[in-house]
Structure 1
Amino acid sequence: MAEAVRFDNRVAIITGAGGGLGKDYALEMARRGAKVLVNDLGGSGGGVGASTLPAEEVVRQIRDEGGEAVANFDSVSTRAGGAAIVQAALDAFGKVDICIANAGILRNNRFEDIADDELDAVLDVHLKGAFYVAQPAYREMRKNGYGRFIFTGSASAMYGHAWQANYAAAKGGLMGLSHIVAIEGSAYGIKSNLLMPTAISRLGDEMTEGFREIPEFAKSLDNADWSASGGRQTVNFNTPLVLYLASEQCDLTHAIFSANSGRYAQVHICAADGWVTPAGTTPATPEDVAAHIAQIADLSIYHKPQTVYEEFSAVADAARRQGVI
């Protein structure tokens, strides 16, 4: 039987922890020994308003169960707010071991109609907000030679969802951020992974079905097989994977994971072996590309570079396989 996942003597910062996914992470992590900084501005799913009540209620529940937690109400969307969140954890508990960037809002619209307030607000909370909290947290983790980051991505960025160009752009940015934190953090005992959660939450209240105007996208929704998902899209189905990724037991880093309806899976970004142009310094023509497009897209052989430089090695492998070098 696997060793129990515990967080004794570990300090976790969880943003957006006043409800939904973040609340469940905070409660379960505290039950397993973590000291938790519960951050939540207390606004709506669309990023409007503020209240101290959501974070205070989660802290009260943790303390009633015998755990340790403090509430924080700073906005993640400014550098000063991010610094204040990390400082609050340091003031309360003296260190930071785990940072879960979970805060998020949703403002859906057609790509062609997204206005600055819909773009900026979503980027500020999801992408800049994660950056602003993670950066000072990373500095503390580096001092201590240990850290765990979980950035909250989305299938909307990885696979696509109509009427969510702003949200998907922010979540795609978080994928890149997690990769770099993982690479740089590897020298200091810091691991970073991206989670794509699936849950029915208050952000769903911000959704409309205007996206059904896109016929092929509407068809993908209508034809989806939900037979394995009944009662399994609740927030607590995401928590086991999050807690493992945040634990000392987790040796994985620089990875992407999906939690969907009780299925946990690693998601890979890969490149096809492709077509390598003949030896020499003459580039291909567009007509050459057209003639070889099937080979370019063929995934029967593929590579998974972990840095930009590993792709050069993948190119060399493909060139050897195809007799170019």
Structure 2
Amino acid sequence: MEDMLSRYSSDGNGSYIFIRGHDGRNSSIAVVESNVDVTSDLQISFWYYMNGVGIGKLTLGKVENGAKTVLWEKQGRQGPSWIQASVNLPRGSYVISFSATARLIYGGDLAVDDVEIAPITTTTHAPTSTLPPSRKLPFACNFDLGPGACGMDLIPSIGNNVGWNITSKTFTHLGYTYIPGDSSGQKGNYLLLNNWNLGENGDAAQIVSPVLQNAGVACLSFKLYQAKISSGTLSVYQRLLPSMELVLLSEEAKKSSRTPSEWKTVMITLRNSKYFQIVLEGSYTGYLGSVIGVDDIKIENGDCKSIFFTSILKALNLSMK
């Protein structure tokens, strides 16, 4: 936990409250609460930290006369920094509470600090910073020219223990073939999540797209290889800009040893956002066979269902010629 929170509270000193993901069992919920008597215009402000692959949900709520109301809520990973939130409180006498859950037993720690109830203040926000140059859709990257040629960033785990390697080779270990090469079968490149230096269960590394620009619905597709049920999880996020909100879209994991080990196509319809980035985060399990392959990332205009059926029709037309 200390490594994940950089060993500091939100202001660099002092203490904070947190939950340990590995302590959670059977969807258990951790709660801290207090009675309040709000007779004027007040707000509650606090800092929160939610940066693990197994982060669940943090909820601020109130209970009044037996009725529960959600005042504020965040779910999933929110980024590698402390974030401040302020919520206006309704008038009345009630119980106010923070409740927290972990989604996984690893990487599920979250923290809260500097909780304060004070009169509502009007703040003037600084102008939104200028976004970096963006690319219009469609976007495609098969890594044959390297991730840099596509504008992709490969970000290793904290401590540089686990990361993404670009390779064209078959990945084998102790005589077992985990990944037979790239998704095309033509000796091209693909990205391989691998243990760099004493990686541990829960270490996560990211593939981050450049800033992309779109108007309307868009579809993300990519090829994914997970050799074993111990391969780990690939979490798919969309970072909405300029708000920087990180939205969990999907989690991919091999759930059965009976599922064939092969490249599969993953297709996900994205949230509407004029500017955004895609973040693919691979988590390392620490077990034998904890490797993940990613290849052939595409982001196109339109919803995934329409794109899928269009590709089927094209394939049928080609086969009939």
Q: Taking structure 1 as the reference length, what is the TM-score of the superposition?
A: 0.24
Question: As a proportion of its length, which structure holds more strand?
Answer: 2
Higher RCO (CA-CA < 8 Å; seq separation 6+): 2
Question: As a proportion of its length, which structure holds more helix?
Answer: 1
Q: Taking structure 2 as the reference length, what is the TM-score of the superposition?
A: 0.24
